[in-house]
Amino acid sequence: MIRNKSKVSALCFATLAIFVASLTLAEATIGYLPPDLEEKSSARIAEKEAGIDYNARAVDNYRLPNNTVPIHYDIELTTNVHNGTTSFSGKVQIILTATEDTRTIVLHARQLTGFIATIQNGTLANAAAYNMTVSYETDREFLSLTPTNTGITLYKNTTWTLTITYTGNLRTDRAGFHILSYTDAQNRLHYMATTQFESTNARHAFPCYDEPAMRATFGVTIRHDPSYSALSNMPKNETASSTGVTVFQRTNITIPTYLVAFHVSDYAYTEGSLHELPHRLYSKPQNVSDHQFGLVSGILILQSLADYYNVSFALPQMAQVAVPGKGGAMENWGLVTYGEQYLLFNKTTSTTSTQLSIANIIAHEFTHQWFGNHVAVRWWTYLWLKEGFATLFSYQAVDEVYPEWDVYQTMHTSDYQSALSNDGIGTVVPMTHYAQTPAEISARYGTSSYAKPACVLHMWQHALGDKVFRAGLNKYLTDNAFNSAEEWQLFEALQSAANEHRLSLPASINVMFPTWSQQSGYPLLTVTRDYTANKFTVQQTAFNDNSTVNSGRTYYVPFNYASRSEPDFRNTTATNYLLNVKEINITDATVGATDWLILNKQSSGYYRINYDERNWQLIAEGLVERPQAIHPRNRAQLLYDAYKFVSTYRLPHNILLKLLTYLPGEDQYAPWSAANAIINNYNAYLSGDADYDDFKYFIKSLVNNTYELLGVNDVHAEPLLRKYTRNIVVNVACLVGVENCLTDSNNKLKALISKNVAIEPNVRSQAYCNGLRHSSDTEYNHFLNELFSSSDATYRNYLLRGLGCSQDSKQLERYVNSSIDQTKSLTSSERTTLLSTVYSRGSTGLLVSIEFLSNNFETYGNLSESTGAANPLSRDIVSMSNYVNNKSQEEKLLALVNKVKTSNKVQANLETTVQTNMNVNFNWLNLNSKQVISFVKSYRSSARSALNASLLSVFVAVVMTISRFF
């Protein structure tokens, strides 16, 4: 499941972070393994074989007693959602087996009422139906059912049929069985009912054993208005269905409750098939023209995954449904639901970013058809067993179908960096982490269940080799088919595959892998070379952003390396291991004293690497001489790691800045993405420095070549990542004032105004922002008026962000004043967000924003009725403090704080919070700015010297030439 796939990239100015940590679960207690890990791992295996549930030793009163288990459900639902009615009625028949003698059946139910229940002995023909006494416990959502006849006992191994009728209401929070609506082209309102059951919301639609290991077969019947149609996991049973009654075929395999799905609407569909497997894509009728990419990609991706695992898709259909307003996607078996923006692609208006996102999310949800559906997780402790695989194969499957996209670069810049960043904080829980309440389970959906396990699995895929990894996954899926599993089944399958392929490993996988799944964090490898003896030492410590923290944790670390003499980054299998020890010594005569040495080919291993300064210098020189000799993902990671080490005081700034000097020869996305983050962070701190022009000169020299190569115009049929790279390079070039960039961007706006030349979707955001940085008042006012008059929400969003990029104080004054001008057509959300687009774009915007609030703080504060930190006045003042980088700005902001601090529209600790944020910035400047400015000034001076030497050579040559004639 993806719970909002939007990947946010932001400047964390106060903490000097490269990227914002996303979906991080921070807890005080981390499940570290003790030092005797190998012994404990062996003990775990013995416990498992003895039937002991290690993870349930904690208080487990939220778990069902499991004295009965389901075999089959027949569900009947009646809904009148077509007219907006939220009430529905239901009937569920559950065939169940008693696993021990009991008189009470315990199920889950949520927000359901009117229960009437009976039970029949399933082994007797024409058995009598006995009434059940119903009780309900709200906290645990337990529905307990006991026969009123005291002589009835459910004896061990007997089968019974439980029937429950009930009523409920469609929810309005997009969870469980819920109601949604859309408006058609004629402004008519249409309703629909759909589902989102993961993790614990199936119990809202029908009483059930709502735990992932409680698999059963299902039959579904939905009664609805004849003008609507219904969908579920299985195809429609045409014979049994009638007008207004849709009966679905019984599932031919067992399914966990959270993967059951229904959808009732007046949707239209497009269809196709491959190898006789029908595919359909459903949406609002007006969006049928946007189906093609999602439908075709789905067909190809599903087959690609089946081929890789060598395990067929288990159901007789695949349907994808575009749901308005949904914040992510859900992998219901055979009926996958998506937010519309994650499935529908318009060839005219959608961007390549949208295209890649759609393919990536389809691959994520389709991977779940095997990992999570075909083999379920035994409990939410092992959520990573499905979400980690889904995240990894969201790239691998897309790479198989669209190899020209080179999507692993995007994995590196997103999930890989997100995982490393979040895991370095030191408070993130391990991949394997017990949870039992619905709230605890919901909190598991974070980086430690998605991005990190994807990276760890990717590491072992490369370390073991793809043949072994692939064979291991096949064994895992076939040995545990239509059942549930925990991590040990995966480890055993991978070990079996390694044995079959005669792969020699230094330790068993069920010993090595838990150092990654049951411990948080990851290693920092420190490489120290002996340049006279062709040797190097690799030492591991657990990485923490705080370099003074040492947890003592160690890992089984697979690694490999390349050098200047042997710069082959293709073979990524592990050549060496750190076997849960602190260090290893390696002698290699092929690595000469003048060679650079780089560990972790293609950055497939999940760790950071620091080198001695001489090797860093050799790498920097190698990048300048032959950048393409080093893999692009390694080039990116060298920048990411060096910046992380600089920001945590493990490396001096001059090493990082020297690395950046190779960028004139760089044209790939991942390295430029890393460089962009670094440049923006430096720029945010240094833009108020007296020597800021030297910094800008340095960045201009880095970006000029690539800017001239790519320009501001989208190019048809060029590689997808080239478009991504262009957007980064244009933003960097215009940020530091590359004249051609500013002129070219502004010309795009002029052409739009005077000749109606449309701006291409892929460069629209960059064009509006950078074109308006230094625009005339005529151009600026044109787009300001467009904001007030346009009804296109997407266009308004481009304008809202672009208008804030201006560096003209008068233009910005008009813009920020519109937020409180009730004669201007702005939504309440636009009024309270446009200010942030101004003060985050430089000193001019910051000072304009401070002045605006100083004069209008009461009116601005009244834009929201809430008080405290949620109020836009308080929120924006705190946010502005993150952008203060000189004393003049500090004085002006503190004057504003002093003026407003007694207002009930600001938080009580406003002054303290603002001062703390600014102190963080000034502390960084005091510690770091001299190093950075010294380097860039020296760089500029060297460039002048080189230019003067070049001019002198030309002059001498001219003199010598002329002298021949005299």
- Condensed to tens digits (0 to 9), the pLDDT of residues 923-935 reads 999 999 999 999 9
Phi, psi dihedrals of residue 334, rounded to the nearest 5°: 80, -5
For 316-372, strand residue ranges (E) read: 318-323, 329-330, 335-339
Q: Residues with Cβ < 8 Å from 188, sequence gap 6 or more?
A: none
Q: Would you state the structure tokens that stand for residue 524, as one six-digit string? A: 């920092």
Q: What residues are paired with 27 via a beta bridge?
A: none
Distances (CA, A) of 297 to 60, 198, 408, 841: 43, 25, 18, 38
User: pLDDT for 552-592, tens place per residue?
Assistant: 999 999 999 999 999 999 999 999 999 999 999 999 999 99
Q: How does residue 953 score in pLDDT terms, banded at 50, 70 and 90?
A: low
Catalytic residue, from 198, 331, 365, 779: name it.
365
In the predicted model, what is the mean pLDDT of residues 440-457?
96
pLDDT at residue 594 greater than cutoff 60:
yes
The domain defined by 377-520 carries CATH number 1.10.390.10:
yes
Please count the other Cβ atoms lying within 10 Å of the Cβ belonging to residue 676: 22
Topology of the domain covering 63-266: Immunoglobulin-like (2.60.40)
User: How many other CB atoms are there within 10 angstroms of residue 814's CB atom?
Assistant: 16
How far the first Cα of the chain sits from its last, in Å, is: 83
Q: How many CB atoms lie within 10 A of CB 450?
A: 30
- pLDDT score of 864: 79
pLDDT at 55: 42
Say what the pTM is: 0.92
Using pLDDT thresholds of 50, 70 and 90, give the confidence band for residue 61. confident
Q: What pLDDT shows up at residue 315? A: 98
For residue 52, name the pLDDT band (cuts at 50, 70, 90). Answer: very low
pLDDT digits (tens, 9 = 90+) for 119-129: 999 877 788 99
* Structure confidence at residue 694 (pLDDT): 97
Alpha-carbon distance values, 789 to 89, 824, 827 (Å): 46, 9, 12
pLDDT band per the 50, 70, 90 thresholds, residue 32? very low
550 versus 404: which is more confidently predicted? 404
Q: Is 291 annotated as a binding residue?
A: no
Say what the pLDDT of residue 962 is: 56
pLDDT tens-digit profile of 894-906?
A: 999 999 999 999 9
Residues 6+ apart with CB under 8 A from 700: 733, 736, 737, 738
Tokens 């970013």 locate to: 353
Residue 946: what pLDDT? Answer: 62
Say if residue 769's pLDDT is above 50.
yes
Could you give the maximum distance between any two Cα atoms of the chain, in Å? Answer: 128
Name the strand (E) or helix (H) holding 557: strand 556-559
What average pLDDT does the segment 608-621 reach?
Answer: 98
Task: Fill in the amino acid letter for 213.
Answer: A
Give the per-residue pLDDT at 123. 79
Question: What is the Cα–Cα distance from 299 to 311, expressed in whole angstroms?
Answer: 16
Is residue 155 within 8 A of residue 101, CB to CB? The reply is: yes
Buried b (16+ CB within 10 A) or exposed e, 545-554: eeeeeeeebb
Q: Are strands 483-485 and 375-377 parallel, antiparallel or unpaired?
A: parallel
**DSSP conformation class of 714:** -
137-157 average pLDDT score: 96
pLDDT at 865 over 90: no
Bridge partners, 321 (sequence order): 282, 337
Name residues whose C-beta falls within 8 Å of residue 343's C-beta, 6 or more positions apart in sequence.
281, 283, 294, 320, 322, 329, 358, 361, 362
Confidence of residue 60 (pLDDT cuts 50, 70, 90): low
- pLDDT digits 0-9 by tens, 617-660: 999 999 999 999 999 999 999 999 999 999 999 999 999 999 99
Rounded distance between C-alpha atoms, residue 665 and residue 266, angstroms? 54
pLDDT of residue 950: 52
**C-alpha distance from residue 459 to each of 140, 604, 606, 607 (Å):** 39, 5, 6, 10
Is residue 364 annotated as involved in ligand binding? yes
pLDDT-based confidence at residue 732 (cuts at 50, 70, 90):
very high
Could you read off the pLDDT of 271-280 as tens digits, one per residue? 999 999 999 9
| Torsion, Cα of 289, 291, 296, 298 (10° steps) | 180
Q: Which residues contact 294 (CB under 8 A, 6 or more apart)?
A: 281, 320, 322, 343, 344, 345, 358, 362
Q: Is residue 707 exposed (0-12), middle (13-18) or buried (19+ Cβ within 10 Å)?
A: buried
* CATH 2.60.40.1910 residue spans of the chain: 523-651
Whether 23 shows a pLDDT value over 50: the answer reads no
pLDDT in tens, 283-296: 999 999 999 999 99
Comma-separated ranges of CATH 1.10.390.10 domains in the chain: 377-520
Nearest to 333 by CA among 391, 378, 373, 393: 373
Contact 156, 98 (CB under 8 A): yes
Indicate the pLDDT class of residue 497, thresholds 50, 70 and 90: very high
Among the listed residues 385, 393, 386, 383, the one whose alpha carbon sits nearest the alpha carbon of residue 445: 383
Within 10 angstroms of residue 183's Cβ, the number of other Cβ atoms is 12
HSE of 190, CA atoms in CB hemisphere, 13 A: 20
- Asked whether residue 458 is marked as a ligand-binding residue, the answer is no
Report whether CATH 2.60.40.1910 matches the domain 523-651. Answer: yes
What SS3 string covers 613-664? HHHHHHHHHHHHHCHHHCCHHHHHHHHHHHHHHHHCCCCCHHHHHHHHCCHH
The rounded distance, in Å, linking the Cα atoms of 509 and 238 is: 49
Neighbour-count burial for 98-121, b at 16+ CB within 10 Å, e otherwise: beeebeebbbbbbebeebebbbbb
Could you list the beta-strand ranges (E) of 633-765.
Answer: none
Q: Which residue has the higher pLDDT, 711 or 60?
A: 711
Check residue 125 and give its pLDDT: 75
Mean pLDDT of 387-412: 98
Contacts (Cβ under 8 Å, ≥6 apart) of 277? 302, 313, 316, 317, 318
Contact by Cβ (8 Å): 806, 772: yes
Residue span(s) of the chain under CATH 2.60.40.1730 come to: 63-266
CA distance 413 to 10: 13
Instruction: State yes or no: pLDDT of 6 exceeds 50.
Output: no
pLDDT of residue 25: 28
Mean pLDDT of the chain, nearest integer:
92
Q: Please, which pLDDT band fits residue 50 given cuts at 50, 70 and 90?
A: very low
Which pLDDT score, from 0 to 100, does residue 34 have? 27
Using the Cα atoms of residue 947, residue 948, residue 952 and residue 953 in order, give the sign of their dihedral.
Answer: negative
Q: What would the two tokens of residue 384 be?
A: 């990573």
365 is catalytic: yes
Instruction: Check whether 43 has a pLDDT greater than 70.
Output: no
pLDDT band for position 945 (50/70/90)? low
Distinct helix (H) and strand (E) counts, the chain: 29, 28
pLDDT in tens, 498-535: 999 999 999 999 999 999 999 999 999 999 999 999 99
